Chain A
């Protein structure tokens, strides 16, 4: 069987920064600039047909080179294989292109990643907080957000 990693290496030679197969999960790391192209290819190429975005999340590697990692877990319902695609974005500009145009499931997953870790998804139709209230300060899943930090309690609204 052809490995998914090899298919991507063949088509995106220089853009695959890294790849591994820990615990049987095939993983590729791509640059944020080419991320959207790679995702589009993964979804539509007849060899891969990864038509379901199962999960999208971000990880905070505080103190490392590009600080944040955005992780996409893809699955193909017709070919029954999985692929993890990752990209690294820096602390000062944590920005990737949205993939809502490819998968509608990305809509809320991206809002959650923005809410929890402050990753900006360029072109997202409605990038606002999903789990927390609008006045919440900071992004709680960042490693430098203290676990016991308290938030300001929102003021009750004035009756008109």
Chain B
């Protein structure tokens, strides 16, 4: 009997928005031939918080807490990305210690983001052990983040001109212990997955994308690097002194689900390398610029000097006041290029803040990736491109 003799009809299936693996507000409407997706349409929405409209209504400093909520798995990186854009607009330099701290927290966030991505993704594939291994070490990183800024998810740690407070005295020693744990966990999870037959069967060769097409779709980050393109903002346009660190950009070949996993595994190792170098670079010094356009004056001066007192009031009431103009600043977030386009009209509120979230083009290409694959594998593809709904929808 040939396939046509079964007289089957294609059926339509809604996947999401309340499906446990669809991560919040995502939905695809798929045409199914048996268990294979023939064509699909992706939709998102209804999480919209109006990040951009809110930004226009507040001062530059008041935007920082909103940026935590963009990618809630690695909020510190969004803080850094936004603050760097405003610093570029004003033209202020930040002290070396603050830069090194920013590198440390960015790489820690990259690790937590990849831990969550890999950990939850393999749960979708039916492997729970790896999830526990990874969430165990993620917990340690979150404890560290809680100690440096008082919060686990809504960190709000950086400021325009530096970071809000210095590291606590034992931070460096504790950090060194944490990255040892991460290294061990990564070794164990890789050992469990890399040659596991079920895992390989369900990821190798599934939903590949060519380099040219990936660039055309606007891919960045691990998903682009899985196709073999070594684009990374940390190398191509270094910021926070990334040019002084020795690290490699892992790339894949086929751009399939398996490669996306492996690139993330290797990026965890590279991030550990960067953190180790950053720890050795950490010198005592200020963590906030002394530029009076963005930083509060020292309390001793505020109590004794009228200029400093007015400076303090102005910064609290109005915040910073960048010159009129526009800026686009890109940083390498865990999922790819995180860009902030800010237009200033010279007043105390940003005239326009546009966030370029790395997930947005990735999810737009999702129907292209899953057409032709099995329904169960579509879930694995979803996890491997690591969609963060908060960032997608803003």
Which chain A residues have a beta carbon within 8 Å of chain B's beta carbons? 22-23, 25, 27, 51-55, 57, 59-60, 71, 73, 77, 80, 82, 84, 103-105, 107-109, 116, 130-133, 140-141, 145, 147
Contact = CB atoms under 8 A, between A and B. Distances in A.
A23 B327 contact: yes
A147 B53 CA distance: 7
Given A55-B328, A55-B354, A104-B216, 14 more contacts: A22-B326, A23-B88, A55-B339, A57-B354, A73-B356, A77-B231, A82-B328, A104-B213, A105-B217, A105-B364, A108-B361, A133-B46, A141-B53, A147-B54
Interface magnitude class on chain B: 35 or more
B38 interface: no
B89 interface: yes
Contacts of B52: 116, 141
A58 to B, nearest CB: 9
A22 B325 contact: yes
Contacts of B48: 131-132
Nearest to A52: B215
Nearest to B91: A23
Interface of B: 44-46, 48, 50, 52-54, 57, 88-89, 91, 213, 215-218, 220, 229, 231, 236-237, 325-328, 330, 337, 339, 341, 343, 351-352, 354, 356, 360-361, 364-365, 368, 393-394
B48 to A, nearest CB: 5
A55 B356 contact: yes
For chain B, what secondary structure do more than half of its interface residues adopt (helix, strand, loop), or is it mixed? mixed
A105 B218 contact: yes
A131 B393 contact: yes
Nearest to A59: B352
Nearest to B365: A104
A6 B220 CA distance: 28
Contacts of A23: 88-89, 91, 325-327
A54 B337 contact: yes
Most buried by A among B46, B88, B215, B229: B215
For chain A, what secondary structure do more than half of its interface residues adopt (helix, strand, loop), or is it mixed? mixed
A22 B327 contact: yes
Contacts of B341: 55, 57, 71, 73
B327 A25 contact: yes
A125 to B, nearest CB: 12
CB-CB nearest 8 A-B residue pairs: A105-B218, A55-B356, A108-B364, A57-B354, A22-B325, A23-B327, A105-B361, A59-B352
Nearest to A143: B56
A71 B44 CA distance: 23
A151 to B, nearest CB: 11
Contacts of A51: 215-216
Contacts of A108: 360-361, 364
Contacts of A130: 44-45
Contacts of A22: 325-327
Most buried by B among A105, A140, A141: A105
Nearest to A77: B231
A18 to B, nearest CB: 12
Nearest to A71: B341
Contacts of A140: 50, 53
A132 B215 contact: no
B46 A54 contact: no
B216 A25 contact: no
Contacts of B216: 51-52, 103-105
A80 B236 contact: yes
B365 A25 contact: no
B213 to A, nearest CB: 8
Given A80-B236, A147-B57, A25 B326 contact: yes
B356 A54 contact: yes
Contacts of B326: 22-23, 25, 27
Nearest to A53: B218
A103 B89 contact: no
Given A59-B343, A77-B215, A133 B45 contact: yes
Contacts of B337: 54
B328 A84 contact: yes
5 contacts: A51-B216, A54-B220, A80-B237, A104-B218, A131-B393
A36 to B, nearest CB: 17
A25 B328 contact: yes
A1 to B, nearest CB: 15
A105 B363 CA distance: 10
B218 A54 contact: yes
A106 B351 CA distance: 24
Contacts of B328: 25, 55, 73, 82, 84
A147 B57 CA distance: 8
A103 B348 CA distance: 36
Nearest to B330: A54
